[in-house]
Amino acid sequence: MGSGSTQRAVKPLFSQQEIEEKTHALAAKIASEEPSPLIIVAIKKGGVPFAELLASALTVQGLTVEVATLGLSSYGKGTTSSGNVSLTQDLSTEIRGVQVILVDDILETGKTLSFAWDHVLTKGATDVKTCVLLDKPHKSRTREADYVGFACPDLFVVGFGLDLAGRYRDLPFVGVLED
């Protein structure tokens, strides 16, 4: 048997339809508050599916958006953060003089968004906002998100970009691993 046999079942927490509806609602809010054009900086790899859905929802709202990527890593292969954020791929686009929205899958300690925030400012972004699909409670946050999809229970979640050692990222919904 291949390694596929070790795949665990995933209990859905946020369905594909809920994620889509929420993202369209967020896009309407962003469009009412932010000028166009915008560059969305998707934090790779987990933030990419949400960033792409958000970009398409913003386009529906009539905003001109471009999606750039920034590769950051803090979880390694486990289910708890190492606490050390490292750069795995620099920005894919020049952002000097541009308004940026940083987009990630989930916010926990805020270290990932803080690192990305400092990085895009160093690269010359004029204004930086933050948007996450999920907000997991944490007592000592280094940065909050301006736009949040859902409050997430304090569990390790997978799907819609969120992985466990590279797996489950492509699930179209967010859920928790069954034992």
**Under the criterion CB under 6 A, does residue 110 sit at the interface with ligand 5GP?**
yes
Distance CA 94, CA 66 (A): 11
- Under the binding rule (CB under 6 A), the answer on residue 106 touching ligand 5GP is yes
Q: How many helical (H) and strand (E) elements, i.e. helices and strands, does the chain have?
A: 3, 9
Please state the closest distance from residue 62 (CB atom) to ligand 5GP, in A.
29
Query: What secondary structure letter does DSSP report for 167?
Result: B
State the nearest-atom distance from the C-beta of 112 to ligand 5GP, in Å. Answer: 3
DSSP-assigned beta bridge partners for residue 68: 41
Continuous H helices in the chain:
16-33, 48-60, 111-122
Query: Under DSSP, is residue 76 helix (H, G, I), strand (E, B) or coil?
Result: coil
Q: Does 23 bind ligand 5GP (CB under 6 A)?
A: no
Nearer to ligand 5GP, 33 or 156 (CB): 156
16, 61, 81, 93: which one binds ligand 5GP (CB under 6 A): 81
173: its two tokens = 């919904």
Q: Does 46 bind Mg ion (CB under 5 A)?
A: yes
Q: How far is the CB of 25 from Mg ion (least distance, A)?
A: 23
75 lies in the binding site for ligand 5GP (CB under 6 A): yes
| 158 touches ligand 5GP by CB under 6 A | yes
Interface of this chain with ligand 5GP, residues 29 to 58, rule: CB under 6 A: 43, 46
The identity of residue 25, as a single letter, is: A
Lookup result for tokens 């046999």 = 5
